[in-house]
Structure 1
């Protein structure tokens, strides 16, 4: 099994079984550990359970059994019941930026969402949004636009900035680059890599693109011998 151990600062799934319809698990008895300061690749074909496991680790979907720990703290509640302090430690970027953003908001407001939800004072929100927008290559003009006025790549840049804005300890990238061109993929992977080396971010990179994971991740795991469709 992949990396069943893990230090006290890791994001860890232990013996996790999860799914969407009782009696038909998508993820079955899987162990996974995301360590600080590194990129763990999670590989597998579409439909094998990668996204379900990612949602469990993001505290967005409760497992049927098993344990998730965040920095050594066991998680007992998920979704809106999960403690805000734990949720803020985990950033997520999903495959489809359009499905994960509010079309009524400008990119600037999208990036600011988690900071405002945490009650961050306005001057600090403005400063941090400026910082992460510059980090991902969002120009001031782009930041005034709405999702329908930008490309998928530009919107995904905003989604990555939103995930990084609260300075999470862990970042889960669920097929983050699947809908992007090669240049945007390279740019966003570089941003994430800089966060890993610069401040010790722990990353789970989820993809069916084996060459990308091979270049991006320090280790690639495929725990799907214990996953049923």
Structure 2
């Protein structure tokens, strides 16, 4: 289970982006978190993904209370979560070819021997064919780069996925394709999903249940 209790977090303690948030996600469940732009959803998503330490509150993942965040989080917890952000160009190293972008988590965790097999498996699933894997971010479209970022999120076979406005910059066909990839992976792996967004139609069609931002935070 992924459980966030009484989370207050932000980048200025005098004016936190999130105040007193509670959220629970069960294994294999897909939860849509709906809210307007600027309400603090992305900050909470980063806390859920163990990328941002909250100022107050607790995060429990798979029965363990998280005490370290970002690079201080235990590897076993960090690698249990795959994350896809809204803006792929801000989350991708512009120097890396897409092949290396996807393989980066494997190499960082000492699993270089798995690179070729995982790339061969994931690239066609996310729609990266032909010479696309050999291109750098500036040589591909936003949609193609987001496909690579999704493959990177899946490459370690995480038990949990956090998709923060993953499809906000994409057209309808690419959105459908990437949601399909996520759901295929979830069906195979039994992974839980936190999908953050502002489109109620998408989240209600995609997720088992949807909760509004106002329902999980203090007034």
SS of 1:172's partner is strand
Structure 1: which 5+ residue stretches go unaligned? Answer: 1-9
SS of 2:11's partner is strand
Q: Which residue of 2 aligns with 1:143?
A: 133
Distance 1:33 1:126 in 2: 36
Superimposed CA distance per residue, residues 111-140 of structure 1 (whole angstroms, 9 cap, x where no aligned partner): 000000000033x11101211112111114
Which residue among 149, 157, 166 is the counterpart of 1:159?
149
Distance 2:15 2:165 in 1: 24
Q: Which residue of 2 aligns with 1:82?
A: 73
Distance 1:88 1:53 in 2: 19
Distance 2:80 2:138 in 1: 30
Distance 1:49 1:81, change over 3 A: same
Distance 1:87 1:185 in 2: 26
> Is the Cα–Cα contact under 8 Å of residues 38 and 196 in structure 1 kept in the other structure?
no
> Is the Cα–Cα contact under 8 Å of residues 48 and 224 in structure 1 kept in the other structure?
no
Which residue among 202, 215, 218 is the counterpart of 1:212?
202
Runs of 4+ in 1 over 6 A off after TM superposition: none
Distance 1:92 1:148 in 2: 21
SS of 1:203's partner is strand
2:119 aligned with 1:129, yes or no? yes
In angstroms, what is the RMSD of aligned CA positions? 1.2
SS of 1:47's partner is coil
Q: Which residue of 2 aligns with 1:72?
A: 63
> Is the Cα–Cα contact under 8 Å of residues 75 and 82 in structure 1 kept in the other structure?
yes
Larger displacement relative to structure 2 (28-37 or 70-79): 28-37
Q: TM-score, normalised by structure 1?
A: 0.92
Aligned counterparts, 1:178-189, within 5 A: 178-189=168-179
Q: Which residue of 2 aligns with 1:172?
A: 162
> Is the Cα–Cα contact under 8 Å of residues 41 and 213 in structure 2 kept in the other structure?
no
